[in-house]
A and B are shown apart, each in its own frame.
Chain A
């Protein structure tokens, strides 16, 4: 029971972190219809910028400034890159963001090199918040949870309760009409792109110290973020939340509990071959759940795309 609670918290942290990335991505997708392949790269930029700033001004200034820089960069990418490519169609847009992801990784290696940065949690938060049956829960995890939930509530409030949010929601469904009413839709697009990438930047700032700040960090998380928003339903904020938590918990639990295929097969009535190392099925017998934890989201996504193409909570086809 205690272990379940610890894993629930760990999964929540992973899930909420994923959510901060997928929220921006899904917003961007629902506005412009383009999946931003470079989204996780902005997350990486957030971590690196925050690290650089924290060297001079400390962690908290990094948390404040880095997302702003990332957001401005993102808006610039939309204004001068994506808007230009948009005229060629959706596939070149996707290829453009893919190329951007490659380029950002190269630029990061160019500036900071290939090794991991010594970016660590602030000293104020280096204590144990509480412990459950001997498992210490660091305060930083609690801090991450609170930051993400605050951002989610803030986002929800802006989108549903403010005038800007209303215009954004209207522009999602009827961009032409909104433009005819006198709103500057390209500016809204640029703003949403900037805010979306800034959110990814925040995620990078708070995840950098825990998950490590290295040039491959975008690659590690990049495709999982896609999987998340496809599972949740493209364009759905709630869907992104549900899918992020689902993935967070699924991966955490399958890593924490060593479920073995062997037990399952025996329970199903199969007989274990005596010379297992020579059997063609030896990989199936030795399969364990931590081994496949990282590919479970992909299996889930393929299944979702086959059986429910608009995702868990999405309203339209992917």
Chain B
């Protein structure tokens, strides 16, 4: 995994590092005015919660090198605690809703302290296995301990009973959006600052070479423990925001599937950079909400993309973006444009053709008998006639052929763009 930092030249102004934060804060403010539909706000809420959770997860995976298979537990327990607070009428009436996530965070942190006390002794496989075991354990407990987890139907609450904040009672989705956006900014900034503290740096050192870190006098175990606890805190905040947004928590919020999803999101976005999980969360939420409306097979495509990412781009999407920085520095990014357009355009044709084939096979196999009509790319046709199959196969084959033909050109352009002019070779 690559380094988290790109050291800025000393000549830059001190304000420049603030620019991305100010820009994203502005973006968060303006977004509801651009996408005004209720469904869009729902998606954005979901996105923001996933971003916080993925960033918290990356504190472990990317910065600490600890692979957890049960991280949904900390978010889930934080969320459950918040719903319980919402149901404590007298207490909830004395606190404003925006401070509720702190309680969720503390709950996640408390659980992380208990589990971390024995799971952080080793990184790697042992940690992964303990996290899986504890995750399964608590997920299974959710059916048994009905008092806290509410059994199979979960527990629900009402966010509007809290102390009104400046007259806002969070009845509307848009008010909740700004609450979540505020916490997104706070958590993201805190997590970024954490990665800049000596402790955050030590987490990187322990990830890369625990033995050497120990020789320098740092306890690898305690460094891992602190990362784990901090990650648990922010996961708890994400869970609390989930509780505020949906007002219900069930077993689904803490089971292994949820933990797997957050691993997928984080890795897809890229574990090597701070902003990786943010990209991952945005892309994943869009794919989940938009693609799942279009096709039943979205899980299949997602799995395919995930496996391909692990195999070919272990840096994830963020890694792909950052690959272009050297070319940008050399001012030769423009030379990549045309070759990219050729290869990726053909690649898109190939992917669409392949996807059409897959969809048609699926339709022929699984549609009820006699149902021959299917709709693909907004075109209705008969899935049993030969023409669509020919078109899709042709698109896939031609796309593949062009990709194969143009790939060497792209490689050449890539090497050219990454070599300083007048340099060797």
Contact = CB atoms under 8 A, between A and B. Distances in A.
Interface of A: 35, 81, 84-85, 88, 90-92, 94-96, 98-100, 102-103, 105-107, 109-111, 113, 223, 226-227, 230, 234, 280, 282-283, 287, 291-292, 294-295, 298-299, 301-302, 305-306, 309, 317-318
Main secondary structure of the interface of B (DSSP, over half): helix
B137 A91 contact: no
B306 A99 contact: yes
Given A105-B303, A110-B297, A283-B147, 20 more contacts: A84-B311, A85-B310, A85-B311, A85-B314, A94-B125, A95-B263, A95-B267, A99-B307, A100-B307, A102-B264, A102-B306, A103-B304, A103-B306, A113-B366, A227-B133, A283-B145, A298-B133, A298-B134, A299-B137, A318-B129
A39 to B, nearest CB: 14
What 4 A-B pairs have minimum CB-CB distances, sorted nearest first?
A103-B303, A106-B300, A295-B140, A99-B307
B132 interface: yes
Nearest to A300: B133
Chain A CB within 10 Å, residue with most, of B141, B144, B307: B307
A280 B145 CA distance: 10
B76 to A, nearest CB: 16
B146 A283 contact: yes
Given A94-B67, A295-B140, A106 B126 contact: no
Nearest to A284: B145
Interface of B: 61, 65, 67, 69, 118, 121-122, 124-126, 128-130, 132-134, 136-137, 140-141, 144-147, 256, 260, 263-264, 267, 297, 299-300, 302-304, 306-307, 310-311, 314, 358, 362, 365-366
Contacts of B121: 309
11 contacts: A35-B128, A90-B124, A96-B310, A98-B260, A102-B260, A223-B132, A283-B147, A287-B144, A302-B137, A309-B126, A317-B122
Contacts of A35: 125, 128-129
A109 B121 CA distance: 39
A239 to B, nearest CB: 15
Chain A CB within 10 Å, residue with most, of B65, B129, B260: B129
A60 B163 CA distance: 69
Given A85-B310, A91-B65, A282 B147 contact: yes
Contacts of B314: 85, 88, 92
Chain A CB within 10 Å, residue with most, of B132, B133, B145: B133
Contacts of A305: 118, 126, 129-130, 133
Contacts of B147: 280, 282-283
A311 to B, nearest CB: 11
A97 B295 CA distance: 25
A80 to B, nearest CB: 9
A90 B136 CA distance: 23
A302 B140 contact: no
Contact of B140 (A109, A280, A298): A298
Contact of B137 (A94, A95, A230, A298): A298
Nearest to B124: A90
A44 to B, nearest CB: 14
Given A88-B314, A95-B267, A103-B307, A223 B128 contact: no
Contacts of B260: 98, 102
A236 B141 CA distance: 31
Given A291-B144, A295-B140, A106 B310 contact: no
B144 A283 contact: yes
Contacts of B307: 81, 96, 99-100, 103
Nearest to A291: B144
Given A84-B311, A96-B310, A302-B133, A223 B256 contact: yes
B128 A94 contact: yes
Nearest to A288: B144
A302 B314 CA distance: 30
Contacts of A92: 310, 314
Chain B CB within 10 Å, residue with most, of A84, A91, A105, A113: A91
A318 B122 CA distance: 9
Given A85-B310, A95-B267, A99-B310, A110 B300 contact: yes
B144 A292 contact: yes
Contacts of B126: 305, 309, 317-318
A309 B122 contact: yes
A287 B143 CA distance: 11
A250 B177 CA distance: 49
Contact of A91 (B67, B130, B132, B303): B67
A105 B299 CA distance: 10
Chain B CB within 10 Å, residue with most, of A84, A90, A102, A282: A102
B356 to A, nearest CB: 15
A81 B125 CA distance: 20
A107 B118 CA distance: 38
Nearest to A107: B300
A103 to B, nearest CB: 4
Contacts of B297: 106, 110
A103 B132 CA distance: 20
B300 A294 contact: no
A294 B67 CA distance: 24
Contacts of A90: 124-125
A84 B121 CA distance: 30
A292 B141 CA distance: 9
A227 to B, nearest CB: 7
A92 B124 CA distance: 11
Contacts of A91: 61, 65, 67, 124
Contacts of A299: 137
Contacts of B303: 99, 102-103, 105-106
A251 B267 CA distance: 35
B299 to A, nearest CB: 5
A97 B271 CA distance: 17
Given A92-B310, A230-B129, A295 B264 contact: no
B267 A226 contact: no
A74 to B, nearest CB: 15
A286 B132 CA distance: 27
